Amino acid sequence: MDLLELARAELLRSNADRKHPFRLMYISTFGEYPEVRTVVKRRISPDLKLTFFTDSRSPKVAQIRNNPKVAALFYHPKKKLQIRLYGHAQLIDEGHGDFNRYLQSVKESSALKDYTTLQAPGLPLSAGTEANALFGDEVHFIAIEIDPEKLDILQLGRESHNRSLYQQIAGEWQEQPLVP
């Protein structure tokens, strides 16, 4: 099977299968150093647009405002399949058409508390702060959508490895096989 179709099939499967390794992804942004962190992939569409949720005060949001170019990494250990997706991140905050739908899904999942810390994520924790005194009433939720522009897909095999670069040109994915 074509590597892009294999990758797409696994990514779409992860929308429904809660144990799928592609439920988590590693997102990198430009900061003082290259920054990378684990996030939960909330959804991927058939045209490979990714969505994840975060705290609007978190450093990754400021980094994306500065430079919206991001990379997402996925690895499927059983299939020995690595996907490196490069694209443009868009911040979906209040005022965007999809914002309320995303916020509603968080409210229904009881994860809303994750977006209500009194202080911004990543700030030093004041000495003696009780865990339950960390939260306030204000919700700092934001969704981030990633539009894919380039994919580097690698599958390791027993006898040989396969790797291809896919780039979107005029709405079509063009394949360039690469030396693995």
Ligand X SMILES: Cc1cc2nc3c(=O)[nH]c(=O)nc-3n(C[C@H](O)[C@H](O)[C@H](O)COP(=O)(O)O)c2cc1C
Number of residues that bind ligand X (CB under 6 A): 15
Among 6, 24, 71, 165, binds ligand X (CB under 6 A): 24
Among 44, 48, 60, 153, binds ligand X (CB under 6 A): 60
Smallest distance from ligand X to CB 84, Å: 18
Which among 11-19, 47-55, 92-100, 164-172 is the span making contact with ligand X, rule CB under 6 A? 47-55
Q: Which is nearer to ligand X, 33 or 127 (CB)?
A: 33
Q: Is 54 in the site for ligand X (CB under 6 A)?
A: yes
Rounded to whole angstroms, the Cα distance separating 68 from 57 reads 16
Q: Which is nearer to ligand X, 4 or 36 (CB)?
A: 36
158: which 2 tokens? 């027993």
Among 1, 18, 33, 38, binds ligand X (CB under 6 A): 38
Q: Is 59 in the site for ligand X (CB under 6 A)?
A: yes
Q: Which is nearer to ligand X, 6 or 71 (CB)?
A: 71
Question: Which amino acid type is present at position 119?
Answer: Q
Q: Is 121 in the site for ligand X (CB under 6 A)?
A: yes
Residues that bind ligand X (CB under 6 A): 24, 35, 37-40, 52-55, 58-60, 121-122
